[in-house]
Chains A and B, each alone.
Chain A
Amino acid sequence: MTTDSALKVRGLWKIFGPKAERLIGTPDAALSRKDLQAKSGHVIGVRDVSFDVAPGEVFVVMGLSGSGKSTLVRLLTRLIEPTAGSVHLDGIDLTGMDENALREVRRRKVSMVFQHFGLLPHRKVIDNVGFGLEVRGEGKTARRVRAQDMIDLVGLSGYEQNFPDQLSGGMQQRVGLARALAGDPAVLMFDEPFSALDPLIRRDMQKEVIRLHHEVGKTMVFITHDLDEALKLGDRILIMRDGEIVQIGPPDEIIAAPADDYVKDFVADVNKSHVLTLRWVMRPPDSPDEGVGAPTLPQSTIVREAARTVLAHQGVVRVVDADDKFVGVVDDEDILRVVVAEQDA
């Protein structure tokens, strides 16, 4: 996974302040955010972050405001210069790159969707979508054709000649999405793209992202402060606090096995039955023959979806892993515990 990951991040630091690079490796770097700021006036944005993102994966970075997630996503394309550490994108080391090479990477390999859309008000939709292509010097006809394709893809056909301020927030962000897709990048970065939208539109846009992910299969790094969004979209989730990683894992693991009280607190109100899989609620079988003849479910089945089968059947249901090996059993009790606990909360 390390060799062919779409994004490989190792030991990434960002400290804001005049002599930040001298702090790395000193005992001061280990101080808490507040203490360091009081002592030297430096502010830690991101502290020693490492992770990998597999090709085609949707990787969500989640944290409250001030947790460093927006800084992190900007470090990944060096919109903010890292203080230390390395970033490999598609196998290329970005951190040692000169200005020109970096620009080339930004033009072709990676693109970004912004929180406040970042559309140019003086350009029509079609020219906004084609902006990245224009920047990398493609001819007018080629970029118009490509832009039109992208506009069709995000469902904005018919709005090509409008100006951004004539569109609703959700439509504007579709333009932002189309612009990011237009350059056919290997990796898409989303910086809280839907936090400025109201809940209904936000849900539509989340569906849109899932649909696009199925259609174009890009690697996505998605920043959000909304846990539901993270659980809905993420193959894996990175939870940040004060610039540090608190936990990385798939959604069901985050819910079922929170790394500390902070995460536990965070996930307390989540609809567990919508996220937890049987893996987290089953118990080991008493004997290899337990429940023979009962229905069989894969352990990655979400509890809510398993409920009907389990409740309809008298007695235990067998759970198997990815290789069809018998790994555990669940019964009504196990399912109800998750669902009822939720109602109590």
Chain B
Amino acid sequence: MTSHSQRSDGPRRQSDGNAPEASRDGQAGQAGARVRFVRRGRAEDAPPLRDDPAPRWQPALLILLLWFLVWMATKGSDTLALQGRDQTGIMHALNDFRDSMLRGRDTNPVMRLSGTIADGFRGLVAWLQRLISIPAAPRPVPEIGWLGVTVVATWIGYAVANWRIALLVLGTFVSYGAFGYWSDSMDLLIIVGISVLVCVLIGVPLGILAGTSRRANAVIEPVLDLLQTMPTFVYLLPIVLFFGIGSASAVVATVLYAAPPLIRIAAHGIRSVPPTMLEVGQSLGQTRAQQLRKIQIPMAKRTIIVGLNQTTMAALSMATIASFVDGPGLGKPVLAGLRINDVGTALIPGLLIVATAIMLDRATTAASERADVIARGGGLPARVHRGILLGGAVVTLGALYLSRLMFWAAQFTDHGWGRRLAEVTDHAVDSATAAMSPITSGIKDGISYAFLNPLQDFIAESPWWLAFAGIAALAFVLGGWRALAPAVVCLAGMRALGEWHNAMITLAMTLVATVMCMALAVVIGVAMARRGSVDLAIRPILDAGQTIPAFVYLVPVLALFGPSRFTGIVAALAYAAPVSIKLVADGVKGVSATTMEAARASGASRMQQIRLVQLPMARSALVLATNQGLLFVLAMAVIAGMVGAGALGYEVVLGSSRSEEWGKGAAAGMTIVLLGILLDRIARRAAGPAPEGTRWFPVLRRRGH
């Protein structure tokens, strides 16, 4: 064996001569040769030698080149652009389907069931509205006036959290009334409240089931994946069909959107109870029920409460968006303002939504921390606390009584602050926009002309068959058969739905936004990971960014850039970047300190550390960040349809509000879903399989506990 290895050493040493790590004295080379020899000789012991895959970018570039050449000759033909309000056969068919479903409202069992559910929700919402939000005939005011509601809410804030939260609640509720949006605010809270309640009733048991039973999880997991991959907006069209326009659809859409995080996190919490704990229980002769009640649920409780916080925030976000289907709440005035490009009008309800978000976030977080403090004997002495609660209850009863008797306590006196503030902000926004317009329009034009327009020309002006073939071929070279198959299915579906041209425009915007998002994520994420101070400064901003409902982003972006495709991109970026940045930062931070120390010890420069160690080792986080960024950008693409982004988003928005456009909107909605799946599959295959279980959870957990 030794002689053999030496024989094989001769030619090897020559070939090693050029390698940078070539042996200085030949000994290292020999050792290397022996290792290789041993591997070949006793293959059953050694791990199989891995072939480096051929670089994938070369064939990809070739395909792009071919695509470009054909595009030069054929551009502008067969693009399948729809003129004006043109509809294709399939869109008419969708409209007909909708009509037949609506005709069958009283006979079709599905429609009857959904009708019953819708009536239930509508009734509940209306009852609560009469209680706190709208005049309860024959009274000219709600059953409980603003003073009563505000004091009750403040008291609850103190009871579940602490006096700081109580003050926050008080301030938020008073500003609802002071700015003249009392009724809309109460409506929003009603929708969020009912939805969160339903989410808990459904989500916690499902989460526990998914956490304890592998089989149940196999059913639940893909459904959650589907619900969370679908852009929020796309839910709305089918929901409207089954539950009608208004509060019932708002609640159902909100529940569908907000329940998955709770289910997922609850299941995760149950699953991450250490196996030793279960073994301890078993060794003491515990029954399954005892195990669940005494070990799994108590240990998962904190995680489940984090999930509840997530669900509340998601519910707020969706409840705002549900104003598109005439859901009651603060989203309505925002939407009205956006529709007429009136930033001043949209801004105040937008800010109230943000205030609501902060209030709900802080309150649920503080409530979850409080339980621990109490258990460990912290906080006020129990008797003092009880005394304050009791005193508060007396005050609350007094306020309730007043708000039923006195008009001033029932109806907020409108001082016109809201309107005046709207006018002032409108002026301020106008002048600020005008002042900044050289900069903003510079950025806008720069990005539009340098990236967006050429890319859109290239993709959307290609004949459909060329783009189809090009994308499919790229999918194949990047991800192999397992990317090609879903790509072809999705592309064929998009072609059949008849929204091809719009889909290509949306694709171009999505790609540009995703690339920008990843550029931001890598630069900021690495900076955050490498410097604690940067992290400390930026993370709260990102947290805030993720707490604010998606919809509200549009207001300032619209003010700065006016309605255009670029505005859509910026909004998408604002929505998607926080998630991606955090994922990259956490991934890079996760590179072990020992590895970094080794890199420093071997004299790697800062750039080398980043390029050779941190980014490669954080690869899975980068992939995850890209995927998440992509999906978030696409989700925002629909909402951005409102602000001049056009394309698929616009069609969906139109379809949700105009009956005759329903079919077209539905087709556009489905196209968005297909586009999302297409991009997701290609990206995932191209980057190798994403690690299991990491896909959604890190995104949903905005901060550790």
Please tell me if A57 contacts chain B, counting CB pairs below 8 Å: no
Please tell me if A19 contacts chain B, counting CB pairs below 8 Å: no
Chain B binder among A112-120, A200-208, A295-303:
A112-120
A234 to B44, CA, bound (A): 41
Residues of chain A lying within 8 A (CB to CB) of residue B280: 112, 114, 118, 120
Chain A residue at smallest Cβ distance from B45: A34
Residues of chain A lying within 8 A (CB to CB) of residue B276: 114-116, 118
Could you tell me the distance in whole angstroms from the C-beta of A39 to the nearest C-beta in chain B? 12
Q: Which of B277, B294, B299, B376 contacts A135 (CB 8 A)?
A: B294
Q: Which of B274, B285, B286 has the most CB of A within 10 A?
A: B285
Chain A residue at smallest Cβ distance from B44: A38
Task: Digitize A97-127: 1 where CB-to-B-CB distance is under 8 Å, 0 elsewhere.
Answer: 0000011111110111011101011110000
Q: Which of A38, A122, A135 contacts B285 (CB 8 A)?
A: A135
Please tell me if B284 contacts chain A, counting CB pairs below 8 Å: yes
Could you tell me the distance in whole angstroms from the C-beta of A345 to the nearest C-beta in chain B? 33
A273 to B285, CA, bound (A): 44
A131 to B299, CA, bound (A): 15
A122 to B376, CA, bound (A): 10
- CB <8 Å contact, B295 and A103: no
Please tell me if A163 contacts chain B, counting CB pairs below 8 Å: yes
Residues of chain B lying within 8 A (CB to CB) of residue A163: 375-376
Could you tell me the distance in whole angstroms from the C-beta of B650 to the nearest C-beta in chain A? 52
Interface residues of B in 273-329 (CB under 8 A from A): 274, 276-277, 279-287, 290, 294-295, 298-299, 301
Residues of chain A lying within 8 A (CB to CB) of residue B284: 106-107, 111, 131-132, 135-136, 183
Please tell me if A142 contacts chain B, counting CB pairs below 8 Å: no
Chain B residue at smallest Cβ distance from A116: B276
Interface residues of A in 68-85 (CB under 8 A from B): 74, 77, 79
Chain A residue at smallest Cβ distance from B302: A122
A112 to B280, CA, bound (A): 8
Interface residues of A in 164-207 (CB under 8 A from B): 183, 189
- CB <8 Å contact, A106 and B290: no
A121 to B295, CA, bound (A): 10
Chain B residue at smallest Cβ distance from A134: B294
- CB <8 Å contact, A120 and B285: no
A103 to B289, CA, bound (A): 13
Q: Which of A38, A106, A189 has the most CB of B within 10 A?
A: A106
The A-B contact count (CB < 8 A) is 65
Could you tell me the distance in whole angstroms from the C-beta of B498 to the nearest C-beta in chain A? 50
Chain A residue at smallest Cβ distance from B282: A79
Task: Digitize B534-548: 1 where CB-to-A-CB distance is under 8 Å, 0 elsewhere.
Answer: 000000000000000
Residues of chain A lying within 8 A (CB to CB) of residue B286: 103, 135
A77 to B279, CA, bound (A): 11
A136 to B294, CA, bound (A): 13
Q: A120 and B298 in contact (CB under 8 A), knowing A107-B285, A131-B284, A135-B284? A: yes
Q: Which of B283, B290, B299, B301 contacts A79 (CB 8 A)?
A: B283
A211 to B285, CA, bound (A): 27
A38 to B45, CA, bound (A): 11
Chain B residue at smallest Cβ distance from A166: B376
Could you tell me the distance in whole angstroms from the C-beta of A147 to the nearest C-beta in chain B? 13
Q: Which of A74, A122, A135, A183 contacts B281 (CB 8 A)?
A: A135
A114 to B286, CA, bound (A): 16
Could you tell me the distance in whole angstroms from the C-beta of B305 to the nearest C-beta in chain A? 13
Residues of chain A lying within 8 A (CB to CB) of residue B287: 103
- CB <8 Å contact, B283 and A106: yes
Residues of chain B lying within 8 A (CB to CB) of residue A74: 279
Task: Digitize B396-414: 1 where CB-to-A-CB distance is under 8 Å, 0 elsewhere.
Answer: 0000000000000000000
Residues of chain B lying within 8 A (CB to CB) of residue A118: 274, 276-277, 279-280
Residues of chain B lying within 8 A (CB to CB) of residue A102: 285
- CB <8 Å contact, A122 and B301: yes
Could you tell me the distance in whole angstroms from the C-beta of A183 to the nearest C-beta in chain B? 7
Task: Digitize A256-281: 1 where CB-to-B-CB distance is under 8 Å, 0 elsewhere.
Answer: 00000000000000000000000000
Residues of chain B lying within 8 A (CB to CB) of residue A189: 283
Interface residues of B in 357-383 (CB under 8 A from A): 375-376
Chain B residue at smallest Cβ distance from A110: B283
- CB <8 Å contact, B299 and A121: yes
A118 to B283, CA, bound (A): 11
Residues of chain A lying within 8 A (CB to CB) of residue B301: 122
Q: A122 and B298 in contact (CB under 8 A), knowing A103-B287, A111-B284? A: yes
Chain A residue at smallest Cβ distance from B283: A112
- CB <8 Å contact, B376 and A111: no
Residues of chain A lying within 8 A (CB to CB) of residue B299: 120-122
- CB <8 Å contact, B44 and A106: no
Residues of chain A lying within 8 A (CB to CB) of residue B279: 74, 79, 112, 114, 118
A110 to B274, CA, bound (A): 22
A79 to B278, CA, bound (A): 10
- CB <8 Å contact, A106 and B285: yes
- CB <8 Å contact, B277 and A104: no
A77 to B299, CA, bound (A): 25
A108 to B615, CA, bound (A): 55
Q: A103 and B285 in contact (CB under 8 A), knowing A38-B44, A135-B294? A: yes
Residues of chain B lying within 8 A (CB to CB) of residue A115: 276
Could you tell me the distance in whole angstroms from the C-beta of B267 to the nearest C-beta in chain A? 19
Q: Which of B283, B294, B376 has the most CB of A within 10 A?
A: B283
Q: A77 and B277 in contact (CB under 8 A), knowing A122-B298, A122-B299? A: no
Could you tell me the distance in whole angstroms from the C-beta of A84 to the nearest C-beta in chain B? 21
Could you tell me the distance in whole angstroms from the C-beta of A94 to the nearest C-beta in chain B? 12
Task: Digitize B544-565: 1 where CB-to-A-CB distance is under 8 Å, 0 elsewhere.
Answer: 0000000000000000000000
Could you tell me the distance in whole angstroms from the C-beta of A31 to the nearest C-beta in chain B? 15
- CB <8 Å contact, A120 and B376: no
A107 to B44, CA, bound (A): 47
Chain B residue at smallest Cβ distance from A104: B285
Q: A135 and B290 in contact (CB under 8 A), knowing A120-B295, A122-B298? A: yes
Could you tell me the distance in whole angstroms from the C-beta of A126 to the nearest C-beta in chain B? 14
Could you tell me the distance in whole angstroms from the C-beta of B20 to the nearest C-beta in chain A? 39
Residues of chain B lying within 8 A (CB to CB) of residue A121: 299
Chain B residue at smallest Cβ distance from A106: B285
A104 to B285, CA, bound (A): 6
Residues of chain B lying within 8 A (CB to CB) of residue A122: 298-299, 301, 375
Task: Digitize A12-50: 1 where CB-to-B-CB distance is under 8 Å, 0 elsewhere.
Answer: 000000000000000000000000001000000000000
Residues of chain B lying within 8 A (CB to CB) of residue A120: 277, 280, 294-295, 298-299
A145 to B679, CA, bound (A): 64
A200 to B461, CA, bound (A): 76
Could you tell me the distance in whole angstroms from the C-beta of A33 to the nearest C-beta in chain B? 15
Chain B residue at smallest Cβ distance from A112: B283
Residues of chain B lying within 8 A (CB to CB) of residue A135: 281, 284-286, 290, 294
- CB <8 Å contact, B294 and A105: no
Q: Which of B274, B282, B298, B301 has the most CB of A within 10 A?
A: B282
Chain B residue at smallest Cβ distance from A131: B284
Chain B residue at smallest Cβ distance from A162: B376
Chain A residue at smallest Cβ distance from B377: A161
Could you tell me the distance in whole angstroms from the C-beta of B47 to the nearest C-beta in chain A? 14
Residues of chain B lying within 8 A (CB to CB) of residue A136: 284-285
A106 to B284, CA, bound (A): 5
Residues of chain B lying within 8 A (CB to CB) of residue A116: 274, 276
Could you tell me the distance in whole angstroms from the C-beta of B124 to the nearest C-beta in chain A? 35
**Can you list 11 residue pairs at the A/B interface with Cβ under 8 Å?**
A102-B285, A105-B285, A111-B284, A116-B276, A118-B277, A132-B284, A132-B285, A134-B294, A135-B286, A136-B285, A189-B283
Tell me the A residues contacting B by CB distance below 8 Å: 38, 74, 77, 79, 102-108, 110-112, 114-116, 118, 120-123, 131-132, 134-136, 163, 183, 189
Tell me the B residues contacting A by CB distance below 8 Å: 44, 274, 276-277, 279-287, 290, 294-295, 298-299, 301, 375-376
Give me the 9 closest cross-chain CB pairs, A-B, nearest first.
A107-B285, A106-B285, A118-B280, A132-B284, A112-B283, A103-B285, A118-B276, A122-B298, A135-B286
Known: A38-B44, A118-B279, A135-B286. 10 other contacts (CB 8 A): A74-B279, A77-B283, A79-B283, A104-B285, A108-B285, A114-B280, A120-B299, A134-B294, A135-B285, A136-B284
